[in-house]
Structure 1
Amino acid sequence: MFRNRTEAGRALARRLGHLREAAPVVLALPRGGVPVGFEVATALPAPLDLLLVRKVGAPGFPELAAGAVAEQHPTMLINEDVVRDLGISRSYLEQEAARQRAEIERRRGLYRHGRAPLPLEGRTVILVDDGVATGATVRVALQALAQSGAARRIVLAVPVAPPSVAEALRGFCDEAVFLATPEPFGAVGSFFADFTQVEDAEVIALLQRGEGGPPSSGAAAFRPGR
């Protein structure tokens, strides 16, 4: 369906043109959402930053979200259906959530180098990811944004999601844009010809180019593929 994340981001940007006059801020979910968000931010144009969220994977199935945690969000979102069906213990969830919060702190230092997140007060915020499967990660990101109370309007923009998940996520934001909601769904990566893992160096480089991050020697040396 999409050649790569760049193509998906440009297609999303065309659907989001009506927000250009709102002077939005684009927040991408790292790492996969950053190349998509970069294209949206470039096209509008808008500043690019991150919203750091981590999936709490199910035991033995790390790609299956049993829950999710986000920076500056005090509680863990639990995917009750997955937890119930797999019999996942509370102790496992707490241990894995702690591990993912540590990863959020690592990425905060790596990507931002001490820089504070972009201010969102009174702004239209466009939250971007490269795709949605269970929706747990995006849902906790939307809840974190809503709980902060800073954004005037929250828009979710995602290339692909299952129909039922897309419909559920619409209830957590002011507007949602999905390029495709196929059924049956499968995995997000199955809708991209190139779904190569995004590395930290690419995230840093794109943040710098999107005016959402500080200059760094590592970022300057990296040239994202087009």
Structure 2
Amino acid sequence: MALGGVPPVLMIDRVSKSYLMGEVTVKALHDISLDFGAGQLVVLLGASGSGKSTLLNIVGGLDVPDSGTVSFKGLNINAAGEAGLTEYRRRSIGFVFQFYNLISSLSALENVQLVTELVENPMPAAEALELVGLGDRMNHFPSQLSGGEQQRVAIARAVAKRPELLLCDEPTGALDYSTGKLVLEVIEKVNRELGTTTLVITHNVSISGMADRVITLRSGEVVEDRRNAKKVSPSELSW
């Protein structure tokens, strides 16, 4: 279901995943099949326990499915092994989590620079911070930054690798309304200006308005997969 006829860069084929919790087997994902076109901005929507975080972790190479395949640009990442998954995460994936995971003893610039040392053709750390609107805060430490600014540093850190996939797990979950909208504006800007295929998972239905495509999960299954006829700017969202 790639957008506008663009061939998919990511294909998920009949993926299932279960976890053993005590003596109970919990099915996190059941027979999920999806594909994503280059440059799409996709919101994965669902309540807690719907399977959206499990799906994101599998796409990002942080977890592996029990069955089914995940292919990125024709490469079956399930069969890549630990070394292959590490290389996939390093070169192709940018992660943004609900909590910022910044190193408190390093400045914003230094936090971003750490990631640029891992890849061959990184975006300069200062340029990444300019992209997210923090050019004047790059020498500040996390304790000197607001929650929204720290999340924007986390986004700069993710995009400085020039990843082909940006995976955002509840990126506004720890933020207030106004700050959350600013962070969403940055994510939309990265998607629009860099053409980075972007997946945002959230339980917040209102955020889905900014997406090209909205996929709703419930109890480990896709219950809706739709395209927005008209996208809404993050600044126009309300919840």
Larger Rg: 2
TM-score (norm 1): 0.33
Give the strand-richer structure, 1 or 2: 2
TM-score (norm 2): 0.32
